[in-house]
Structure 1
Amino acid sequence: MRLFIAEKPAVANDIVKALGGNFTRHDGWFESDNAIVTNCFGHIIESQPPENYNPEYKAWKVETLPLRLYPVKYQPVESAAKQVKTILELIRRGDVTEIVHAGDPDDEGQLLVDEVLEYAGNTKPVKRVLINDNTLPAVKKALANLKDNRDFKGLYLKALARSVADAVYGFSMTRAYTIPAKARGYQGVLSVGRVQTPVLGLIVNRTRANQNHKSSFYYTMTGVFQRGADVIRANWKPGEFAPLTDRKLLDKAWADGTAASLAGKPATVEAAATDDKKTAAPLPFNLVRLQQYMNKKFKMTAQKTLDITQQLREKYKAITYNRSDCSYLSDEQFSESPQVIDALKSVFPQSLDIDSARKSKAFNSAKVTAHTAIIPTASVPDVNALSTDERNVYLAIAQHYLVQFMPEKAYQEVSVAIQCGDESFYARARKTTDSGFEAFLGAETTDEGESEDNDDSAFELLCKIRTG
């Protein structure tokens, strides 16, 4: 009998559906003739309080710092005590011969189930299933490709080390700051944490900077050069000895003096070139880039974006693993792309220049980490039934997937370098020859470096310029 331990109920339900057969629902698990499926609710095991490691830790004293909280002593999370008891009983059942770890495919998911097995004192063999995509075919495929859980011990130890370090640092530093503060009459607790304290510092520093901000001006120079009937506008390029502060010219007198000294002087075109260039589509999203995109375009908070991706993954099975830190996809996902592209036609019925044989730089198994980028699955939801926010997040993910199969944006770029006196000036212009993916995705999502003039007349003008 195999026992599957999932990270959360939704994944347990997916495993039950993928396994098939006649499962009976019990209070906290499902069971068939040859399999049991149960689940955690996130972390259901936690470290015991410091005084359980050493009775001396009960009193807050500087002499006991730093606290020593390893090896970890576990206890059930109070709100999950009943489910912990259920899982321990299932692990220890005589007919259970093998356990399948079904935590999320990341270090925290690895720790979450492994710590339960550790707490249970498990000695039975453990397999690992990695479910990135919660659609039925993908879960079935993952279940047919079980790994040895021992291969993921490094991932477990990584998460465990972070967890222990956070506890030691948080408890110890909180006491280290609070003890002297109370000696000076402070009545509260000065809470310190590895993440919370730096974030608080960033907020305080930014708030103080805003409160103390004083307006200041910086200056740029634009050269207007005439060649026959043509007038060329070029931007000043600061030289080695320009008096810049944080790469900005703040000295108005210097700017005025330099401009006056250059007025009427002859200028020379040092270089002029026209190049054919291409811009590849942006990579598919990882979580952070998706959160940044949704905030910039829809003013959506990072937490809301995360919550919506969780819904899209668990409720609708519409996207792959949503907490990914990776923007690349595997070669296997490239081979599966025709089915996903075909499914997305219901969302994007317009004619699109998509070729499933076109392989973008996003498909690179060597750059895939524990996860792949966040992409749509072949289980496409009815976008009209989604909330506005859900639809916006889903469409952003789907669009950034589809552009991987669209042509690159092609353009010509002309650049001119002009020398006037001791100062340098430059002008650039671009002309799009093929919008490629940008016709679908839009120009606002691409980052093409410094701003250039995209006006066709400016492009044609600069193309006529020759050196000399």
Structure 2
Amino acid sequence: MITILAEKPDQGRKLAAPFRHKKEQSFIQIEPCSQFPKGAKVIWAIGHLCKLQDPKKYNPDWEKWNLESLPIIPEKFQYQMAEGKSSHFKAIKDHLKTAQEIIIATDPAREGEYIARVIIQMAGVPKTTSIKRFWCSSLTESAIKKGFENLRPGEETKPLYYEAKARSESDWIVGINSSRVYTLLMRRRGIPEAFSTGRVQTPLLTLIRGREEEIERFKAEPFWELEAIFAFSQHKFKGKHQTRFSEKEKAATILHEIQGKNGIVTSVNTELKTTKPPMFHSLSTLQTKLNRKHKLAPAKVLELAQSLYERGYISYPRSDSQHVTVAEASTFPGILNSLKSCYKSLLNSNLKDISGEKRYVDEKKVSDHYAIIPTDQIPDLDKLSPDEKKTYDEIARSLIAAHYPDHKFNQTTVITNIEKYEFKTTGKQVVVNGWKDVYQDEKSDDQDKENQQQLPPLQQGQQVEAAPSLKEGMTQPPKRYTEGDLISLMKTAGKHIEDEELSSMKSMGLGTEATRSGMIQTLKDREYIVVTKNTVWVTEKGKLLVMAVQGSALAKPDLTAKWEQYLYQIGQGQKPSAPFIETSKKLAKTIVDQAKLNAENWDVSAAAQEIKAKLHVGKCPLCGEDVAARKSFYGCNGYQKGCKFTIPGAILGKKISEANIRKLLEGKKSGIIKGLKSKAGKTFDAALKLENQEIKFVFAKK
């Protein structure tokens, strides 16, 4: 029997949909058909069913965090069931072990390959079992059938598994050791926080903090510019002298010199300019655009795009390409025809054929997946959530706009002299709006707005009245990053590489299309950054970590540039993975040794006060030390001296607020907590009180 392994339940249902099938308890049975003469079973993972073992599984001594045990480096990596997923693994294990042929149909990327191969390994599938790979960039019924007709040999995509395995194991080695060493050394300096670090998240945090430091160092300075309103007949236009003055007196002297003088138009130059439609979207460009336009977080955009993909509405979203293949371009007429149901007003005009345009159709620029485009399966837009609709709309319009004419406009540059001083005026007159008709609701950028000035008919040598004036301004600091900017920053992080020997890697970024939004979310979850009104700020905790890693490999994008290039070569079958793992082991030791050496020079005083104040919720009833808020509980800072006092962060399914914890530590009752759920499943309301270091319920008197 053929067994098809999908990544998620929804994906499994999609894969079975084109065939007659029957839903069983833990699988879907595809009935015999031309594609599967003996039928087939569809089973599914729930994402990562298996994960690398925890340190304590390799060595019991590694459960406790101490500097003496570092670096932690297993001789051989092992896997364990992910928490809460063992029962599902047992349900699919027998299907895999008894299969005559396994078709891997997880997401067509390195992580999807990794998920499937680890499950197959953990299930104890015989090595003689035939393995094939389903590789498809969309989940429409026609695409699924075509994918099953053109299965790849399992060995062809196995290098992707080696790539993901090397990435996972190396990130484990570096992450475990660097997180423990920085956390433990910070605790010695009186900072009771956990510091998660990693080869992608920490360089990203350092780059964000670098921009903040630029802003903090920036000193605003005044400047002055000369502007003039020119007039003739009933017409007016504005010009600007191109010199910016740092001294008001110099600008004022020129103003005095030209006051009351007429201007003469010395040149009028009109040039026809053309802008082509935007390229198709990769995941990064889609995340950046939707963050700028709708303030959607990059992680949210990926979630929305994944949902649309799994329902068959768009192609595979974790793509780094903005091009399509010739075969895919041949489907565009059919897709555009289907899109008329939603975008009829945009599809009435004559659209151009782009099948021969390298801007969009270039086999050489498509790696594993082509750009994100809509499929011929069109959703009912009214049934999509508002954010799904925004995401789908952007993807659909990108395909429609590509088939529109270029946007053409006349750009006129006018130079007007008042005495010997030149004033420049620019104007724009649209000749063909073209593809911009598809994006009529979008705001123009500042430069475009400036170019919108409608110019009157002007001729060289024409005399005009002039009313010059002085305009004062202040220099502006660099802008803080938005979440969308962080995606672009990670994609172009290679330009921050300082090592000249890595010049060939400057095109490599931090992370991959699939992981970048996750890294931003990690920084938020770890409380290294906060995002307010789409603007990114580094917290005191984040500043502290950046200070600590300064000068180490974790602080620079060089490390990730090396890793990403080598990982890519592993995935292409060009490099072995073993040397990569060995290098990561040496790196972990270097990071640990360097942190120990530098810890005494860390200046933690300013950040320590703020972090402690934030964490402090009261005094320990046992030893009198501060009680601090942790991730899932409240604990005494005297734990290093042996105090074991803790209060859980949640009781019977209800989170306990800091305000109520403060009351308990002061010997008072908490407020009434509603919706507590007993072991029998009954809900009740009660206050809490701390008696002999135990939480007691206090019920209202009837």
TM category, shorter: 0.7 to 0.9
- Paired with 1:367 and 1:447, the residues of 2 have a C-alpha distance of 29
Which residue of 2 is the match for residue 246 of structure 1?
none
Deviations 1:46-73 (A, max 9, x none): 0001233345533434344333246431
- How far has the Cα of 1:337 moved from its partner? 0.9
Counterpart of 1:372 in structure 2 is 370
> Which residue identity is paired with 1:116?
I
* 1:179 corresponds to: 184
User: Residues 222 and 105 from structure 1, CA distance in 2 versus in 1: closer, same or farther, beyond 3 angstroms?
Assistant: farther
Structure 2 portions without partners, runs of 5+:
32-37, 463-702
Q: Among residues 379, 385, 399, which one is paired with 2:383 in the alignment? A: 385
- Percent identity over the alignment? 27
Moved more, 294-303 or 269-278: 269-278
Match of 2:429, SS state, is: strand
Cα distance per residue 1:8-48 (max 9 Å; x no partner): 11111111123x24445232454544312111111111000
1:157–1:257 distance in 2 versus 1, CA, 3 Å: farther
Cα distance in 1 between the residues matched to 2:282 and 2:225:
37
Corresponding residue of 1:282 = 278
Change (3 A) 1:313 1:457: same
Q: How many residues align?
A: 451
Unmatched segments (≥5 aa) in structure 1: 243-248
Q: TM-score by structure 2 length?
A: 0.57
Q: Structure 1 residues 51, 341: CA separation in 2 closer, same or farther (over 3 Å shift)?
A: same
Aligned residues: CA RMSD: 3.6
Once residues 449 and 23 of structure 2 are traced to their aligned partners in structure 1, the CA distance between those partners, rounded to angstroms, is 63
Q: Would you say the 8 A contact 1:354–1:402 is kept in 2?
A: no
Shift in alpha-carbon separation, 1:185–1:339, aligned structure 2, 3 A: same
Hey, what's the Cα distance between the residues in 1 that align with 2:256 and 2:112?
66
- The answer to whether structure 1 residue 347 and structure 2 residue 350 are counterparts is no
Q: Residues 58 and 466 (structure 1 numbering): CA distance in 2 closer, same or farther, change over 3 Å?
A: farther
The residue that corresponds to 2:406 in the other structure is 408
The CA distance in 2 between the partners of 1:81 and 1:262, in whole Å, is: 83
Query: Could you tell me how far 1:402 is from its partner in structure 2?
Result: 0.7
Number of the residue aligned with 2:320: 325
Letter of the 1:179 partner, please give it. Answer: L
3-state SS, counterpart of residue 274 of structure 2: strand
Tell me if 1:50 matches 2:45.
Answer: no
SS of 1:78's partner is coil
Aligned to 1:117: 120
Could you tell me which residue of structure 2 aligns to residue 26 of structure 1? 25
- The residue correspondences of 1:381-460 to structure 2 (distance < 5 A) are 381-416=379-414, 426-442=424-440, 444=442, 452-458=450-456, 460=457
Which residue identity is paired with 1:106?
A
1:341-381 deviation digits (Å, cap 9, x = unpaired): 11111102225324262445222222223222222111111
- Residue 5 of structure 1: SS of its match in structure 2? strand
User: After superposition, where does 1:225-236 map in structure 2 within 5 Å?
Assistant: 233-236=238-241
Provide the C-alpha distance between the structure 1 equivalents of 2:343 and 2:178, rounded to a whole number of angstroms: 54
Distance 1:325 1:54 in 2: 40
Task: Report the Cα distance in structure 1 between the residues aligned to 2:116 and 2:257, rounded to whole angstroms.
Answer: 73
Structure 2 vs 1, CA of residues 220 and 319 (structure 1 numbering), >3 Å: closer, same or farther? farther
CA change 1:31–1:384 in 2 (3 A) is closer
Partner in structure 1 of residue 9 of structure 2: 9
Distance 1:195 1:221 in 2: 47
> Are 2:352 and 2:405, in contact at CA under 8 Å, matched by a contact in 1?
no
Q: 1:121 to 1:262 in 2, by over 3 A?
A: farther
Q: Which amino acid aligns with 1:164?
A: E
The answer to whether structure 1 residue 67 and structure 2 residue 62 are counterparts is no
Determine if contact 2:72/2:177 at 8 Å carries over to the other structure. Answer: yes
Q: Partner letter of residue 132 of structure 1?
A: S
Is 1:70–1:164's contact at 8 Å kept on the other side of the alignment?
no
Give distance in 2, aligned partners of 1:70 and 1:362.
Answer: 48
The one-letter code sitting in structure 1 at the alignment partner of 2:310 is E
1:105 matched to 2:108? The reply is yes
Deviations 1:373-412 (A, max 9, x none): 2221111112223333332222222112111111111222
82, 96, 112: which one aligns with 1:91: 96
CA contact (8 A) 1:267 1:418 kept: yes
In structure 2, C-alpha distance between the alignment counterparts of 1:253 and 1:153, rounded to whole Å: 71
Query: Which stretch has the larger CA shift, 135-144 or 187-196?
Result: 187-196
User: Superposition pairs for residues 184-195 of structure 1, below 5 Å?
Assistant: 184-195=189-200
1:424 deviation in Å?
6.4
Question: How high is the TM-score relative to the length of structure 1?
Answer: 0.82
In structure 2, do the counterparts of structure 1 residues 451 and 116 end up closer, same or farther at CA, with 3 Å as the change threshold? same
